[in-house]
């Protein structure tokens, strides 16, 4: 038995942990060490098995071999007539596939997920035993869903994981469900995601109607072989898939759920923002890159949504005061970069940014959790400051991750973000699909976003860790470094934030393209499409000269430096906070606009939500007026006719009626014993009656 | 080999569990859940035969049943809320104004 045939076990292991913790530990209230051993075994074994299977797959089959493990036929629904008039079997398998993109995702999802499990052991130790078990059971379930999502070999299995992460995010965001706003945040995430899921479901149906199969390898090959024939279909499917990605990856206009998602425990935010959930949208777009590359329209939409989200979310992040909210908007913004990368055809760079983002964002969130832990639950950066002295490990790891997200050379985020920006510029210069000027604009937005990113991240660092503590003396006594289980994952992720980007050195700048390991690893995912498209890709590749590319590198480093310099001027030294205060007063309208997140939530509240409520009220009133009116009218008519018949009764058949009345009275007295008003008694009578009837029918057959 | 008989047997077991739940549980919410169980037993039956006969109609009917079940759940939960507002309880046997 080869390990790569066992890839179905990778999601099953955390599922087992979830089942044990959810059904046994939670019920019996088992002690914390038992619970976290089960959970750590579930995610840890998945990590070991995942890496071992990937290594064996690379060594024995090679990265060009897509390894599909088909478990069993899951949905067998006869055959349907599809668009081209032929009959296609509805035969959907529960099957998993290992290729380079899913291997990369499995590698870091299991690894980062395991680190977050370890961190949670320390972070959640104040919870009650049962809440602890519930928490770890959800966390394991999250890993299971995400692994099903990345390993699935067809759109339906992917959709199972897709819905699974949606469910788990709902459960974990609403983990403190006793608080109303936490429960509401959970519901918000779920409902907003459902809007995206609607698009994704339609995309699945459309894919089946066009290709007659949902297996990735099969319909990608078909589409790549006949690019012209499937161009229109690819636009439709691509846009619908992207609706799903918008919901899951929190892009404009469905990004409103992610900042609220910090209602859950902090490690959960790390899990949602770094390893699972939001990266699912990017993964899916990269997975379906063949479909997107067939359609210039879909690519342009992806790039525009990504680029605009990157800058809009970054501007909101500038003025937020909640440490986790700033990080949440930075995630939305970074996801925008990933989609910008995908939209300009740099799918490898998009996945590379997912990878490095997983390292530094997990580190940032876990670091912020450590800070919040030390400040006894305080999340407002205005009440922090000077924490560097009390928690050095947290500070240095947080700083490393901040340098990474800002795009300082050598640090992980630099390589991936720079590659996305370079590819966006290249798309502009090469006039990709004839939309050159749009792509130039998006590149510029991305560059401006990089300045803002560096600014708000260093604002966070300076406000939290430098200067004097502003939370009062009482809180200052409680400041302490976090326990070992929390700092250890921080150190690992901090180191990865520094060196993790070295897998994707832009080797072509030095004349050694083979240095870019990740590009080589992911190359099999980009199926070649036709001949014409390939040549076009070649032309655009040389649109930018080597010197200009070096210039772009220095430009983005300068952008990051500018952001850091401004943050330093604003939030360091004796006059810290004075300058931004003045700016906020001077441009109070802009400040309010940003602080209130462009009032997007309020706009949705006034339009979509109020509209739904109004419609419901309209239906209710229809019910109250029309239906109830009819009923009342009938009643009135009955009263009238009763009155007439009452006179008739009195005058003509009084005696007879009295006789009937008496007999009914007597009968009712008997029947009243049956009418006890006990609902289940009625149900019982019904069931026995049905049984007797069945018996009679059965006997009547003989 | 799993045959239609197995599905039908499972469906029977589920149906009986649901039936017993409806008849003996006091909690309205549990009764509603048991009712769902019965729905799904029926669904399973439909799908088993649809699978056996290679005919999609049974599965389509099952989807309709699911839709109806959703509406039923909404109404049932509405009743529960009404009961809670009226009596401050979810116990079915306390809804007994008709008992004299």
Cβ distance B24 to A680 less than 8 Å, yes or no, reads yes
Cβ distance A683 to B24 less than 8 Å, yes or no, reads no
Res. A141: pLDDT tops 90? yes
Res. B98: pLDDT tops 70? no
Q: Is some CB atom of chain B closer than 8 A to the CB atom of A52?
A: no
- Distance from the Cα of B18 to chain A's closest Cα (Å) equals 12
- Please write the tens of the pLDDT for every residue from A78-94: 788 888 888 888 888 99
Res. A224: pLDDT tops 80? yes
Chain-centre distance of CA A483, in angstroms?
A: 29
Cβ distance B31 to A680 less than 8 Å, yes or no, reads yes
Chain A contact probe: residue of B25, B34, B78, B98 with most A CBs at under 10 A? B98
Cβ distance A678 to B99 less than 8 Å, yes or no, reads yes
Both structure tokens of B10: 């499972």
Task: Pick A677's closest partner by Cβ from B54, B59, B97.
Answer: B97
Q: Is some CB atom of chain A closer than 8 A to the CB atom of B31?
A: yes
A360 neighbors A401 (Cβ within 8 angstroms) = yes
Task: Pick A680's closest partner by Cβ from B22, B51, B56.
Answer: B22
Residues of A in contact with B96 (CB under 8 A): 676-678
Cβ distance A677 to B22 less than 8 Å, yes or no, reads no
Q: Is some CB atom of chain A closer than 8 A to the CB atom of B71?
A: no
Cβ distance B55 to A78 less than 8 Å, yes or no, reads yes
Res. A353: pLDDT tops 70? yes
**Which residue in B has a C-alpha nearest to residue A76's C-alpha?**
B51
Phi, psi of A95 (to 5 degrees): -140, 155
Mean pLDDT of all residues in A473-490 = 83
Both structure tokens of A557: 């480093």
Q: Is some CB atom of chain B closer than 8 A to the CB atom of A678?
A: yes
Q: Is some CB atom of chain B closer than 8 A to the CB atom of A666?
A: no
Mean pLDDT of all residues in A533-556 = 70
Task: Pick B56's closest partner by Cβ from A77, A680, A687.
Answer: A77
Return the HEC string of A426-467.
HHHHHCHHHCHHHHHHHHHHHHHHHHHHHHHHHHHHHHHHCC
Res. A479: pLDDT tops 90? no
Percent of chain A exceeding pLDDT 90 equals 34
Q: Is some CB atom of chain B closer than 8 A to the CB atom of A73?
A: no
Task: Pick A677's closest partner by Cβ from B23, B24, B98.
Answer: B98
Q: What global pTM score does this model have?
A: 0.80
Q: Is some CB atom of chain B closer than 8 A to the CB atom of A675?
A: yes
- Distance from the Cα of A238 to chain B's closest Cα (Å) equals 27
Q: What is the pLDDT of residue B66?
A: 92
User: Which H or E run contains A271?
Assistant: none
pLDDT band at A602, cuts 50/70/90? Answer: confident
pLDDT band at A543, cuts 50/70/90? Answer: low
Cβ distance A76 to B51 less than 8 Å, yes or no, reads yes
The average confidence (pLDDT) of chain A is: 87
Task: Pick A675's closest partner by Cβ from B51, B56, B98.
Answer: B98
Cβ distance B22 to A678 less than 8 Å, yes or no, reads no
Q: Is some CB atom of chain B closer than 8 A to the CB atom of A671?
A: no
pLDDT band at B40, cuts 50/70/90? Answer: very high
Task: Pick A680's closest partner by Cβ from B23, B55, B99.
Answer: B23
- Please write the tens of the pLDDT for every residue from A655-698: 777 788 888 888 888 877 776 677 788 888 888 999 999 999 99
Both structure tokens of A278: 């939001």
Residues of B in contact with A77 (CB under 8 A): 56, 59
Q: How far apart are the C-alpha atoms of A648 and A655, rounded to whole Å?
A: 12
Residue A466's alpha-carbon distances to A371, A395, A548, in angstroms, are: 13, 10, 38
List of residues 6+ apart from B52 with CB closer than 8 A = B3, B4
Cβ distance A78 to B22 less than 8 Å, yes or no, reads no
Mean pLDDT of all residues in A335-355 = 91
Residues of B in contact with A675 (CB under 8 A): 98
Phi, psi of A228 (to 5 degrees): -70, -40
H helices of A174-295, where?
180-211, 216-225, 231-248, 257-260, 266-270, 278-287, 289-294
Q: What is the pLDDT of residue A541?
A: 53
**Which residue in A has a C-alpha nearest to residue B98's C-alpha?**
A677
Residues of B in contact with A685 (CB under 8 A): none
A359 neighbors A404 (Cβ within 8 angstroms) = yes
Q: What is the pLDDT of residue A534?
A: 52
Q: Is some CB atom of chain A closer than 8 A to the CB atom of B80?
A: no
Cβ distance B23 to A76 less than 8 Å, yes or no, reads no
> Which range is least confidently modeled, A3-12, A155-164, A593-602?
A593-602
Q: What is the pLDDT of residue A531?
A: 55
- Please write the tens of the pLDDT for every residue from A613-641: 899 889 888 888 888 888 889 999 999 99
Q: What is the pLDDT of residue A539?
A: 47
- Distance from the Cα of B14 to chain A's closest Cα (Å) equals 16
Cβ distance A684 to B54 less than 8 Å, yes or no, reads no
Kindly report the length of chain A. Answer: 702
Q: Where are the beta strands (DSSP E) in A4-162?
A: 67-81, 87-98
- Please write the tens of the pLDDT for every residue from B1-15: 788 888 899 999 999
Cβ distance A676 to B96 less than 8 Å, yes or no, reads yes
ipTM: 0.72
- Please report, to the nearest 10 degrees, the dihedral formed by the alpha carbons of residues A136, A138, A142, A144 taken in order: 80
Q: What is the pLDDT of residue A426?
A: 86
- Please write the tens of the pLDDT for every residue from A361-418: 999 999 998 888 888 888 888 888 888 888 889 999 999 999 999 988 888 888 899 8
Cβ distance A78 to B97 less than 8 Å, yes or no, reads no
Residues of B in contact with A88 (CB under 8 A): none
A416 neighbors A356 (Cβ within 8 angstroms) = yes
Q: What is the pLDDT of residue A45?
A: 94
Cβ distance B22 to A683 less than 8 Å, yes or no, reads yes
Q: How far apart are the C-alpha atoms of B36 and B22, rounded to whole Å?
A: 10
Q: How far apart are the C-alpha atoms of A522 and A516, rounded to whole Å?
A: 10
pLDDT band at A542, cuts 50/70/90? Answer: low
Tell the residue number behind the tokens 């279909």, with chain if given.
Answer: A233
- Give the number of beta-carbon pairs within 8 Å between A and B: 33
Residues of A in contact with B51 (CB under 8 A): 76
**Which residue in B has a C-alpha nearest to residue A80's C-alpha?**
B56
Cβ distance B54 to A672 less than 8 Å, yes or no, reads no
Q: What is the pLDDT of residue A495?
A: 92
pLDDT band at A536, cuts 50/70/90? Answer: low
**Which residue in A has a C-alpha nearest to residue B20's C-alpha?**
A684
Task: Pick A680's closest partner by Cβ from B55, B59, B92.
Answer: B92
Q: How far apart are the C-alpha atoms of A461 and A576, rounded to whole Å?
A: 13
Both structure tokens of A438: 């749009």
Query: Which neighbouring-strand residues pair with A72?
Result: A94
Cβ distance A680 to B55 less than 8 Å, yes or no, reads no
Q: How far apart are the C-alpha atoms of A310 and A308, rounded to whole Å?
A: 5
DSSP 3-state of A36 = helix
Res. A352: pLDDT tops 50? yes
Q: Is some CB atom of chain B closer than 8 A to the CB atom of A672?
A: yes
Q: What is the pLDDT of residue B63?
A: 92
Q: Is some CB atom of chain B closer than 8 A to the CB atom of A59?
A: no
> Which range is least confidently modeled, A160-174, A569-583, A586-600, A622-636?
A569-583
Mean pLDDT of all residues in A206-215 = 91
């Amino acid at each position: 038995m080869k390990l790569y045939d066992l890839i179905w076990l990778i999601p099953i292991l955390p599922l087992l942990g979830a089942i044990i913790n959810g059904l046994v530990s939670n019920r019996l209230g088992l002690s914390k060490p038992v619970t976290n051993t089960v959970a750590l075994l579930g995610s840890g074994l998945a990590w070991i098995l995942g890496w071992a299977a990937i290594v064996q797959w690379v060594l024995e089959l090679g990265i060009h071999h897509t390894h599909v493990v088909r478990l069993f036929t899951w949905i067998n629904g006869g055959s349907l007539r599809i668009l081209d008039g032929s009959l296609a079997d509805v035969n959907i398998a529960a099957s998993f596939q290992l290729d380079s993109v899913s291997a990369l995702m499995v590698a870091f999802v299991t690894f980062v997920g395991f680190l977050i499990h370890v961190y949670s052991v320390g972070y959640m130790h104040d919870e009650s035993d049962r809440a602890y078990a519930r928490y770890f059971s959800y966390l394991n379930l999250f890993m299971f869903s995400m692994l099903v999502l990345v390993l699935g070999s067809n759109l339906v299995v992917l959709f199972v994981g897709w819905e699974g992460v949606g469910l788990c995010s709902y459960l974990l965001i609403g983990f403190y469900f006793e608080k109303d706003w936490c429960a509401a945040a959970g519901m918000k995430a779920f409902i907003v995601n459902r809007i995206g899921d609607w698009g994704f479901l339609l995309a699945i149906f459309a894919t089946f109607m066009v290709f007659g199969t949902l297996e990735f390898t099969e319909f990608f090959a078909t589409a790549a072989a006949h690019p012209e024939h499937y161009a229109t279909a690819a636009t439709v499917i691509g846009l619908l898939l992207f609706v799903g990605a918008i919901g899951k990856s929190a892009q404009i206009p469905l990004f409103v759920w992610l900042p609220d998602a910090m209602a859950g425990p902090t490690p959960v935010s790390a899990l949602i923002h770094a390893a699972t959930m939001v990266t699912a949208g990017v993964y899916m777009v990269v997975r379906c890159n063949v479909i997107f590359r067939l359609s210039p329209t879909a690519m342009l939409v992806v790039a525009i949504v990504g680029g605009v989200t990157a800058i809009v979310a970054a501007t909101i992040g500038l003025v937020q005061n909640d440490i986790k909210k700033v990080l949440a908007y930075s995630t939305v913004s970074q996801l925008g970069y990933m989609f910008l990368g995908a939209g300009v055809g740099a799918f490898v760079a998009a996945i590379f940014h997912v990878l490095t983002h997983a390292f530094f964002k997990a580190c940032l969130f876990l670091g912020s959790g450590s800070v919040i832990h030390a400040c006894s639950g305080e999340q407002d950066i205005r009440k922090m400051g000077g924490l560097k002295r009390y928690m050095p490990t947290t500070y240095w790891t947080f700083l490393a991750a901040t340098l990474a997200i800002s795009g300082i050379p050598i640090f992980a985020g630099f390589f991936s973000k720079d590659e996305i920006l370079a590819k966006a510029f290249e798309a502009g210069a090469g006039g990709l699909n004839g939309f050159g000027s749009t792509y130039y604009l998006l590149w510029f937005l991305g560059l401006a976003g990089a300045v803002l990113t560096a600014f708000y991240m260093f604002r966070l660092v300076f406000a939290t860790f430098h200067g004097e503590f502003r939370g009062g003396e009482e809180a200052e006594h409680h400041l302490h470094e976090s326990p070992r289980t929390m700092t250890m994952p921080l150190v690992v992720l901090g180191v990865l934030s520094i060196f993790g980007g070295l897998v994707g050195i832009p080797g072509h700048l030095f004349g050694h393209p083979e240095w870019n390991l990740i590009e080589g690893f992911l190359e099999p995912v980009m199926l070649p499409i036709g001949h014409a498209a390939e040549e076009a890709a070649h032309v655009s590749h040389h649109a930018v000269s080597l010197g200009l590319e070096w210039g772009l590198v220095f430009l983005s480093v300068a952008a990051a430096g500018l952001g850091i310099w401004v943050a330093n001027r604003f939030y360091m030294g004796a006059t810290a906070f004075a300058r931004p205060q003045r700016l906020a007063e001077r441009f109070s309208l802009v400040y309010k606009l940003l602080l209130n997140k462009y009032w997007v939530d309020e706009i949705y509240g006034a339009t979509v939500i109020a509209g739904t409520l109004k419609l419901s009220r309209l239906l209710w009133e229809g019910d109250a007026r029309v239906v109830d009116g009819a009923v009342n009218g009938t009643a009135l008519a009955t009263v009238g006719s009763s009155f007439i018949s009452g006179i008739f009764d009195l005058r003509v058949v009084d005696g007879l009626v009295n006789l009937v009345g008496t007999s009914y009275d007597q009968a009712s007295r008997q029947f009243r014993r049956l009418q006890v008003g006990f609902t289940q008694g009625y149900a019982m009578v019904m069931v026995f009656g049905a049984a007797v009837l069945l018996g009679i029918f059965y006997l009547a057959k003989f | 080999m799993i045959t239609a008989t197995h599905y039908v047997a499972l469906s029977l077991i589920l149906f009986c569990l649901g039936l017993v739940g409806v008849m003996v549980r006091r909690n309205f919410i549990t009764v509603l859940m048991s009712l769902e169980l019965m729905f799904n037993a029926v669904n399973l039956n439909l799908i088993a035969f649809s699978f056996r006969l290679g005919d999609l109609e049974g599965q389509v009917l099952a989807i309709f049943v699911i839709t109806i079940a959703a509406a039923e759940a909404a109404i049932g939960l509405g009743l529960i809320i009404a009961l809670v507002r009226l009596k401050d309880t979810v116990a079915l046997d306390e809804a007994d104004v008709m008992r004299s």
